[in-house]
Amino acid sequence: MRGTVKLSAKHQIVIPRDIRRQLGLAAGDGLLVEVQGNAILLVPRPRSYARRLRGLHKEVWRDVDTAAYVREERKGWR
């Protein structure tokens, strides 16, 4: 989905309603801003980074005894 916005005199933009609805954005929600080359990327800020990262790459740990792995790693700390 694409939209067009205009920069106001106060350097503000309004995100089109269809895009806000699609992303579930509400007043007061945060956005992460990134410059990629000649483009500005706006991404909704996660409400909880812990929830956002939970389960990430779980397939890597599928056949691993995680308790044994942590014990071995901790041995290297000594």
Is residue 29 within 8 A of residue 21, CB to CB? The reply is: no
pLDDT number for residue 1: 80
Q: What's the average model confidence in pLDDT over 50-66?
A: 85
Is residue 32 within 8 A of residue 40, CB to CB? The reply is: no
- Is pLDDT larger for residue 31 or for residue 61? 31
- Is pLDDT larger for residue 9 or for residue 59? 9
Instruction: Compute CA 49 distance to the chain's CA centroid, rounded to the nearest angstrom.
Output: 8
* Greatest distance between any 2 Cα atoms in the chain: 59
pLDDT number for residue 49: 78
pLDDT number for residue 46: 84
- CA-derived radius of gyration, the chain: 21
pTM for the full predicted model: 0.58
18 confidence band (pLDDT: 50, 70, 90): very high
